Structure 1
Amino acid sequence: MRTATAILSFVLALALLPLQPAAAASLPGGKSTYVVSQGHLKASSRENWVRLGTYRFAANGTVSASSYLWWQRRPEARQRTGMVPDKSCTTKAGGSASRPRMCRVLTAGGYTGAPDESRTGTFTMAGDVLTIRWKIAQAWTEQWYVRRSPDGKLTRLDLKGSTLATHGYGYGSNAAIGTRRAMSSVKAFPGALRQDLTSWAGDKLVTSNNQPFSLSSFRACTTTTSCLTYLQPSSRSACQKSGGCPNYGGGTKADISSIQYYLTKISNSDRRDTMWHWCTCLAMERREFCYTGNSHVKPLMQVIDDSGAFRGWVGAEASFSTGSSRKADMLAVFRLTDFR
């Protein structure tokens, strides 16, 4: 009887011991908040898609995502951002002016509104590999290589593999998603941004890595301070006679291969920016001042490090053709950063 009583007392004592909390999950690179660009881009497909959004990781091993989705199954028209750069950084004249034209800046359809989708899942870390399993109707698992910047203020995600995506980029820190830098800080960025990109157009994939991005060439606007502009004087490969500009493009008597660039903020409360660009000669071919055809619209998310400093962007191009042919769409995922 004494033995039974002793055993019962021992069991009760164990039951009364304080519960130990579950071990906290290791955050990817020690960072909680990421901006992510990814896409399903295959040369043989006309159902390609790109996503741009945020991932938020918690110490309990869960992750949540909020994303904008652009899909060839549901092409969306370009939309106005509400930005018209002022005369200090644009011009109302045509020809060979040194500033871009004063036009209403466009972005991809839906990007000025709320994200298209949200999802949750779980994550694990094994060495330098992050695995995410999303809890959605179909199986969706992602794996990313996790790389920390030399200064420890930023973590980079390089896509290792995914059930659905073929290409992707991500950057994370512990800065809140509402932390962003004004265009004046972007313009003053002291580092060198370079671009890695995979694009789809005309049933072809093109990969372009380590391309310099001339942020210092952009002009700040005096009144519309949330916008930067740049007129690239010429291009060796784009805006040519053989590329849609038979009367005015590069290689013609007029030989105009300049490109109109616009960078503008989309939101005050999160990381959204956008880039819009188009060949000057394309507008001239249509006798337009502001081009209304297949311009390039590229939603961006600012990369912000632990100190709150601007470090570049991840982005997605979602330029759907204004015609009915999906072959003329232009899609891409890319990064423009100083940590690659």
Structure 2
Amino acid sequence: MKRLIGWIVLGLVATLGVTAPAVPLPAELPGGKANWVVSVGGLNDSSVNNYANWTRLGWYIFAADGTVRTNYWTWNQRDEPMRVDAMKASCGGDIPSCDVQTMGTFLTGPTGAFQGTYQTSAGKVDVTWTKNGAGQALADPLVEHWLLEPIPGGKVARIVSDGYHNALAGPVVVPTTFSDYSATFGIGYGSNAPLSAGNKASITDIRTAYGQDEHLGTYVAAYKGAVHREPAGLKVNELNSATSFAYWRSCPSGKCVGFREKTNGCVCEKFPNFKDRIRYLADAPPARNNIYTYWCECLAQGTPCYKANNHVQSLLQIIDDDREFQGWVGVETSTHVESDGSAPDHNFGAGYWAVLNMVTPDLRGPQPKPPKP
């Protein structure tokens, strides 16, 4: 009798045209990679957003069921976030012993999260964020349209916003094709290496094992009321073979390195002989985080350190399928402050808000070209 009832039910289902729930087909991971470090920015001309620029830095994790989630840090220019001291860079030699500064929230876990879905097709990845980290529906979905670009070797994949790799120098025409909200630029790299802290290059390794790699890329920044595109670069080399002196010196802890860049072109009217630029790179918790700061020595006005308007960049390491370090994606969040560094001075036009990448040659993508004279 039970078997007969089963056949009757199946017959009714067929008669009524009702189908069993479809089993979701496996989604195609972008570039075959699950774990991504991603930088996104809402950068625009002040006439459009009145200096409400923002940046977001974190990771995207794509799953085979077509879902994606992100954990991120985010900063908004209008909030005027302040720098904090992360560690003392006591590197010795001619490197000033100064505090390496960063955003306070970058020293803790990510501050935000989204959940959503994605689709890949014909060199594109469309991401739709529908929920917050707790699974609550967003008032309006946030949609991003990424270009998926191949990288030789297949150990890393790249996603990028339309217009990120355009010509260098001068004001930038801000594209409207990247998102249906205020995000305008983005860059990300993915592999199948876990995102945990155990899959991270130490500062010592970056200085020695990877020290001869020149990590170059693109820096898209909002400052002086407009958006600009410039080259970015960082080469943490241990030794200059031409002169046999150390470029980057290590801190005793091994958690940071410092560099005095000679005659970089820094010019200050009161201290014309101080033309060097001081740079620091440091480790930070919790996972692939690094801190990068730099400033013109003449701005310190005769004191060893400058803590007012130094450039502050938050970076996440790119680690390929073989667990090798390949560079960084990052953001700059440099609030303009009073000359003593005590408080914001509300000079929004003098702040720097940027999305950037600094990577090995194969990962750079189309190289931006200077505009024609």
Aligned positions, number: 309
Contact 1:298 1:315 in 2 (8 A): yes
Q: Do the aligned partners of 2:77 and 2:353 also contact (CA within 8 Å) in 1?
A: no
Paired amino acid for 1:105: V
Give the TM-score normalised by structure 1: 0.84
Cα distance in structure 2, aligned partners of 1:5 and 1:280: 86
SS at 2:106 equivalent: coil
Question: How much has 1:275 moved relative to structure 2?
Answer: 0.2
Offset at residue 13 of structure 1 (A): 12
Q: Distance in 2 between matches of 1:290 and 1:235?
A: 17
Instruction: Among all aligned residue pairs of Structure 1 and Structure 2, give the percentage whose two residues are the same amino acid.
Output: 29
Select which of 84, 97, 111 maps to 2:88.
84
Tell me, yes or no, if structure 1 residue 124 matches structure 2 residue 153: no
Which of the numbers 272, 293, 311 marks the counterpart of 1:276? 293
Output the CA distance in 2 between the equivalents of 1:201 and 1:37: 18
CA distance in 2 between counterparts of 1:104 and 1:334 reads 23
- Structure 1 residue 295: deviation in Å? 0.7
Write the mapping of 1:155-166 to structure 2, written as runs, cut at 5 A.
155-160=157-162, 161-163=178-180, 164-166=182-184
Question: Structure 2: any 5+ residue segments left out of the alignment?
Answer: 15-19, 131-137, 163-177, 239-246, 338-344, 365-373
Correspondence for 1:71? 76
Does residue 169 (structure 1) correspond to residue 187 (structure 2)? The answer is: yes
Q: CA RMSD in A?
A: 2.4
Of residues 104-113 and 118-127 in structure 1, the stretch that sits farther from structure 2 once superposed is 104-113
Corresponding residue number in structure 1 for 2:155: 153
Deviation at 1:335, TM superposition (A): 0.1
**Secondary structure, aligned partner of 1:185:** helix
Instruction: Please show how residues 1-340 of structure 1 align to structure 2 within 5 Å.
Output: 8=8, 11=11, 21-44=23-46, 45-81=50-86, 83-86=87-90, 89-91=91-93, 99-135=94-130, 136-160=138-162, 161-163=178-180, 164-178=182-196, 179-187=199-207, 188-189=209-210, 190-209=212-231, 211-216=232-237, 218-221=247-250, 223-236=252-265, 239-240=266-267, 245-249=268-272, 254=273, 256-267=274-285, 269-284=286-301, 287-322=302-337, 323-338=345-360, 339-340=363-364
1:118–1:7 Cα change, 3 Å = closer
Greater mean deviation of Cα atoms: 71-80 or 183-192 = 183-192
Structure 1 alignment gaps of length 5 or more: 92-98
TM-score, normalised to structure 2's length?
0.77
Q: Distance in 1 between matches of 2:27 and 2:313?
A: 35
Cα separation, 2, equivalents of 1:21 and 1:124: 17
Q: Distance in 2 between matches of 1:47 and 1:132?
A: 23
CA contact (8 A) 2:191 2:320 kept: yes
- Does the Cα contact within 8 Å between 1:131 and 1:143 map onto a contact in 2? yes
Take 2:151 and 2:236, find their aligned partners in 1: how far apart are those partners? 21
Q: Please tell me whether the aligned partners of residues 249 and 259 of structure 2 are also in contact (alpha carbons under 8 angstroms).
A: no
Q: Distance in 2 between matches of 1:5 and 1:278?
A: 80
CA contact (8 A) 2:53 2:77 kept: yes
Partners of 1:185 and 1:310 within 8 A in 2: no
C-alpha change, 1:6 and 1:318, in structure 2 (3 Å) is: closer
Distance 2:353 2:9 in 1: 69
1:25 touches 1:59 (CA, 8 Å); kept in 2?
A: yes
Can you list the C-alpha shifts for 1:160-202, whole angstroms capped at 9, x where unaligned? 3112211111001111111211112212215331121111222
Instruction: State the secondary structure of the residue aligned to 1:105.
Output: strand
Describe the superposition over 1:46-94 as per-residue Cα deviations: whole angstroms up to 9, x where unpaired: 111111111111111111111111102211110111x2123xx335xxx
| Partner residue, 2:175 | none
